């Protein structure tokens, strides 16, 4: 049996036999050569622009390697000063090199429309066309080169520094001798007293640094408001929407569709209270397992489940996933000082991606493994697109991960005959959808309230943050769940609010898109697989709407989100039926 503590990645191959500074030196040399194009970018013909973009890709590859190595190292031990110093040094050198190239995108964005129209369709620009088109869309929000340079230089001791401080503070939180992630995993325990004790422990663990984390959040909120004002964005989330290639209107339509269906999670939590024999759930009961006992999964067992699920869908995709599982591409164990959560890192198309986990052996961890391997497989298959188009906008980035989770859950369901076990799995699948769609939109509403209040009322107190958090949760939960006093501080460990403001709605977007994609798979069977793989291989080379069309999804349809929510409602119907079949409700 594999000891999960031995499941560690080998990241030294990222450096390709060179030191970090040697990679930076090479990037700096190539960037200085590109600087010779200053004043001419807007007039380059297609061939000249393609040559310049290939040189730019080389710089980006070297910077990615030199940046990801210290970042990944730091994520496994944020308490190590040497790793922190290495990451800071990397960020400093990357900023210095990037500032020498700021002129390039500014000149391209300002290029004459007729000239751009004449060259942009040239086949030699296929590898970077979509990227170049997106840069043009940012033109109204770009500043002068001296201004952009100052902002880039100051960012090292601005937002990025505050985000690093937040990561270090949250990574150091202990709860009764456990890490914060280990303590949070106990919220799925079938014993209510264990859940309550874990929740009280988390609240106690969050308390000592709460005012400091509130100050960090206040500072980042103000930093973003200044940036948005300088760049002329209409709302606090407009810059995120532009990066996501989504209009403000489409995002508002998504949020409105989810909020208007808050009755679905409320209906589930009332049902869950009946199943658990509780008059009314408390916030610490929401993730409680409906199984009689909490099943523990060893690493090998979890790997076998996920590998089998991907194999049932596509042998080709299973081979891609298998490389992550068979080679040192995953860092799985919980360790002191290790950053919480899970993620997949693309690194660069000339190297393979990595997956980061905090494995505690719960069913949720199995789902997370399937989720992050979906990201990893997406990155791996999209490597052929090159560095400009490997990664997708956040709105599409969750599609492969959620699809992988759904395939895994469906595969497991097909093997279960026992009504009680079927109900437990259906409940788990439904709760994933509720957490990803409804909870993430509720978190978006919390963000919206915080950014709005910071801009209109000034610095927010710990109590104000707590009130806004509780209100956003109450809006979603209604009277189906009791919001305890201690829960008011739980906003303060969520990294997305700090490092990627506006990110969280992308989870809802991706979940509903992935469920719609999976529905097409159920309809078409194996005939659907090639189109899905084409979607993954396309990476970010097209807009989200164009990517959706590959798998028959019309993201421009105003009813798309409503139809996606109907799929979640169908999951709820199935869970209710399974609960009755299992004798858990009348």
pLDDT at 79: 93
Cβ neighbours of 74 (radius 10 Å): 25
User: Residue 274 contacts by C-beta under 8 Å, 6 or more apart in sequence?
Assistant: 584, 585
User: Residue 556 contacts by C-beta under 8 Å, 6 or more apart in sequence?
Assistant: 545
φ and ψ at 434, to 5 degrees?
-65, -45
Choose among 275, 255, 561: nearest CA to 426. Answer: 275
Rounded Cα distance, 243 and 227, in Å: 15
pLDDT at 295: 76
Give the pairing of strands 330-333 and 281-282.
unpaired
Choose among 558, 516, 554, 551: nearest CA to 254. Answer: 558
Q: Which residue has the tokens 């989330």?
A: 237
Rounded Cα distance, 407 and 298, in Å: 20
User: Residue 384 contacts by C-beta under 8 Å, 6 or more apart in sequence?
Assistant: 349, 537
Rounded Cα distance, 353 and 539, in Å: 14
Rounded Cα distance, 495 and 20, in Å: 27
10 Å CB burial of residue 496 (0-12, 13-18, 19+) is: middle
CA atoms 487, 214, 441, 344: torsion sign: negative
Residue 382 contacts residue 539 (beta carbons within 8 Å): yes
Rounded Cα distance, 519 and 538, in Å: 21
DSSP 3-state assignment of 332?
strand
Q: What does DSSP assign to residue 17?
A: T
User: Residue 310 contacts by C-beta under 8 Å, 6 or more apart in sequence?
Assistant: 317, 318, 321, 370, 373, 377, 404, 407, 408
Q: What is the pLDDT along the chain (586 residues), one digit of tens a residue?
A: 789 999 999 999 999 999 999 999 999 999 999 999 999 999 999 999 999 999 999 999 999 999 999 999 999 999 999 999 999 999 999 999 999 999 999 999 999 999 999 999 999 999 999 999 999 999 999 999 999 999 998 888 999 999 999 999 999 999 999 999 899 999 989 899 999 999 999 999 999 999 999 999 999 999 999 999 999 999 999 999 999 998 888 899 899 999 999 999 999 999 999 999 999 999 999 999 888 766 789 999 999 999 999 999 999 999 999 999 999 999 999 999 999 899 999 999 999 999 999 999 988 899 899 999 999 999 999 999 999 999 998 889 889 998 999 999 888 888 788 888 889 889 989 998 999 999 999 999 999 999 999 999 999 999 999 999 999 999 999 999 999 999 999 999 999 999 999 999 998 998 999 999 999 999 999 999 999 999 999 999 999 999 999 999 998 887 889 989 999 999 999 999 999 999 999 8
- Crossing angle between the packed helical segments 46-76 and 81-99, to the nearest 10 degrees: 170
Task: Indicate whether this model's pTM tops 0.85.
Answer: yes
What are all long-range contacts of 191-196, with beta carbons under 8 Å and residues at least 24 apart?
A: 192/276, 192/278, 192/285, 192/288, 195/284, 195/285, 195/288, 196/282, 196/284
φ and ψ at 473, to 5 degrees?
-70, -40
Rounded Cα distance, 246 and 434, in Å: 23
DSSP calls for 274-291? HHHT-SSEEGGGTT---S
Choose among 441, 440, 443, 365: nearest CA to 405. Answer: 365
Rounded Cα distance, 5 and 338, in Å: 13
DSSP 3-state assignment of 359?
strand
Rounded Cα distance, 299 and 3, in Å: 7
Domains parsed from the chain with CATH numbers: 4-157 (1.20.140.70)
pLDDT at 351: 98
User: Per-residue pLDDT tens for 235-290?
Assistant: 999 999 999 998 888 899 899 999 999 999 999 999 999 999 999 999 999 999 88
Rounded Cα distance, 181 and 183, in Å: 5
Helix (H) or strand (E) holding 505: helix 505-524
pLDDT at 247: 84
Within its chain, how far is the Cα of 586 from the centroid? Answer: 39
User: 178: which strand partners?
Assistant: 175
pLDDT at 294: 66
160-176 per-residue burial string, b: 16 or more CB within 10 A, e: under 16 = eebbbbbbebbbebebe
Q: Which residue has the tokens 């948005």?
A: 228
pLDDT at 19: 97
532-560 per-residue burial string, b: 16 or more CB within 10 A, e: under 16 = bbebbbbbbbbbbbebbbbbebebeeeeb
pLDDT at 155: 87
Residue 164 contacts residue 339 (beta carbons within 8 Å): no
Rounded Cα distance, 337 and 111, in Å: 48
pLDDT at 380: 98
pLDDT at 559: 84
Cβ neighbours of 566 (radius 10 Å): 16
Structure tokens at 399: 């599609």
Radius of gyration from C-alpha coordinates of the chain? 24
């Amino acid at each position: 049996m594999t000891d999960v503590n031995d499941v560690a990645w080998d990241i030294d191959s990222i450096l390709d036999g060179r030191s970090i500074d040697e990679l930076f030196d090479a990037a700096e040399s190539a960037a200085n050569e590109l600087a010779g194009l200053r004043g001419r970018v807007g007039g380059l013909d297609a061939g000249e622009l393609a040559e310049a973009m290939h040189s730019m890709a080389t710089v980006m590859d070297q910077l990615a390697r030199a940046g990801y190595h210290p970042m990944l190292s730091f994520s496994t031990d944020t308490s190590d000063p040497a790793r922190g110093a290495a990451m800071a040094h990397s960020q400093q050198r990357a900023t210095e090199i990037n500032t020498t190239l700021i002129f390039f995108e500014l000149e391209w964005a300002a290029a004459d429309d007729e000239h751009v129209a004449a060259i942009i369709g040239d086949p030699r620009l296929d590898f970077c066309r979509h990227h170049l088109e997106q840069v043009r869309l940012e033109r109204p929000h770009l500043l002068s080169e001296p201004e952009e340079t100052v902002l880039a230089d100051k960012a090292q001791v601005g937002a990025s520094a505050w985000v690093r401080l937040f990561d270090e503070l949250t990574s150091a939180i202990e709860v009764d001798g456990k890490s914060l992630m280990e303590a949070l995993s106990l919220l799925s325990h079938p014993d209510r007293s264990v859940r309550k004790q874990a929740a009280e422990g988390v609240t106690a663990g969050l308390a000592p640094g709460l005012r400091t984390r509130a100050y960090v959040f206040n500072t980042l909120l103000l930093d973003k408001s200044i940036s948005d004002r300088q760049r002329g964005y209409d709302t606090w989330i407009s810059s995120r929407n532009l990066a996501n290639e989504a209009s403000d209107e489409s995002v508002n339509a998504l949020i409105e569709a989810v909020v208007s269906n808050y009755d679905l999670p409320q209906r589930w939590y009332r049902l869950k209270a009946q199943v658990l024999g509780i008059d009314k759930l408390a916030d610490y009961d929401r993730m409680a397992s409906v199984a009689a006992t909490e099943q523990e999964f060893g690493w090998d067992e979890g790997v076998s489940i996920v590998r089998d699920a991907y194999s049932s869908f596509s042998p080709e995709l299973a081979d891609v996933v298998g490389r992550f599982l068979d080679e040192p591409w995953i860092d799985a164990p919980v360790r002191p000082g290790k950053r919480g959560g899970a993620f997949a890192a693309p690194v660069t198309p000339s190297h393979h991606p990595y997956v980061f986990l905090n494995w505690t052996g719960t069913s949720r961890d199995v789902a997370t493994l399937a989720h992050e391997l979906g990201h990893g497989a997406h990155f791996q298959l999209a490597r052929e697109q090159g560095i400009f188009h490997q990664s997708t906008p956040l709105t599409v980035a969750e599609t492969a991960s959620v699809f992988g989770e759904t395939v895994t859950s469906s595969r497991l369901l097909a093997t279960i005959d026992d009504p009680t076990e079927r109900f437990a799995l259906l409940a788990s699948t439904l709760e994933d959808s509720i957490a990803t769609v409804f909870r993430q939109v509720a978190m978006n509403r919390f963000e919206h309230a915080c950014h709005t209040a910071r801009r209109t009322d000034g610095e927010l107190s710990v109590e104000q943050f707590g009130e806004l958090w509780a209100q956003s949760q109450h809006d979603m939960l209604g009277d189906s769940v009791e919001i305890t006093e201690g829960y008011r501080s739980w906003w303060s460990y969520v990294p997305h609010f700090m490092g990627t403001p506006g990110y969280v709605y992308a989870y809802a977007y991706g979940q509903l898109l992935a469920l719609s994609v999976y529905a097409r798979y159920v309809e078409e069977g194996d005939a659907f697989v090639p189109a899905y793989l084409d979607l993954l291989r396309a990476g970010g080379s097209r807009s989200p709407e164009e990517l959706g069309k590959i798998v028959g999804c019309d993201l421009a349809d105003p009813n798309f989100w409503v139809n996606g929510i109907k799929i979640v409602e169908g999951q709820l119907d199935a869970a209710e039926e399974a609960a009755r079949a299992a004798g858990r409700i009348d």
